[in-house]
Structure 1
């Protein structure tokens, strides 16, 4: 089915849902969904963005700017670091999604909205996303998934709509930068965010800085690895990251791969998951 026909189905579904709160991160999927919901429902929808220690401040700023351009109602909900995930358990994404979306759902009901919707798309069913089980248990609706819209189609439709996020690289919360079992600390989130923001500012998109205590392990896209084989650039990067609080700065020779910290899990089955895989990031 052409993407344009799926979009018509999306509009019809949103109309059926009536009044919705869109869980809005500012990523490709949630921005597209927010735009579609606003054009379809107008004042019968609003976006809600989570502010937490593990969400980069630049992402919150970008979300505000995006929703301002679209014109939809928007609110930021502050959520502290949850005690249930403080030591970064292997099922942290399930626990986090369950807690955070319960808060969003309660707020939506309090304000008279019928449903909470999120930006899960059809491709997300091909590789387990640990939060999906929690969303299912709570009754959160995923209109892009329900209308079988793929990531490529969402990017295409976003471009047609003039949304600046159409080619935005994938991103994930900062929890995915810290190995399982390590205590989560706000100081670590701060230095990871600064390091990634710096690396993005010098031309590396989709970069990840994995935090192993005092060690920063940099992952850049595989095609960009050659750019780092420059001694003055390496010296500048190392010096900058040390200023942010890392003692040692290393480069992962394999480059960026989604969810690299999941490699330590092997085939263990995690609580709240279907096949043992954890969140991508």
Structure 2
């Protein structure tokens, strides 16, 4: 029997791991997953910033936890899945949103900044995807009935084990200026997403990415306040405005749940039409 439209967009019974969920796009997406019914595990560098966790609990009624981990340290990343599962949690959604930016002319780009950007934006994404994928594949199919919110429409004989959503960028497709490390890392995120999808889609793990356009967040304050740059950016966006973090709520719920059961290996642009120009 076909699933109802409401059930296709319900994440009830799921638990999501979210990196980069303390502000901006990541925070909006974490809240959206909770509003759709998922409990949330926030991966943060420190525990003092409780705003996202507290908002999830107070506004959605879902459970939320903070797990402290350092994404610049592989051993710390490898410890995430064992730590959360030892508490009896069974995550089925992974959202990799954490990222950093460093700007220098390419001929002067420091080794340490290159290494830091590639580690946070790409290597940590691969490491957490690998550990999460191994965890999902280690669980018996009987734990993922096709009639459950995590099931239906995926590979593996109709059993959907879970969803991975990585965050790419317009610089997944374009080179940018003075951001060679960021462009390389976000290009790598797209190829990693496709590579993992090729191996895991048939096993019930859908792997996709979201590529944000120009979004009005703290990271882009300087661009927004630069009248000339702002005018040039606005002229290129068919939607006629900068994006907002809230513009990502629908797409992340779509990619996290059964509605996207036959969608894998895609990089979905949320850019107001920028890439269509």
Please give the TM-score of this superposition, normalised by the length of structure 1. Answer: 0.36
Which one has the largest radius of gyration? 1
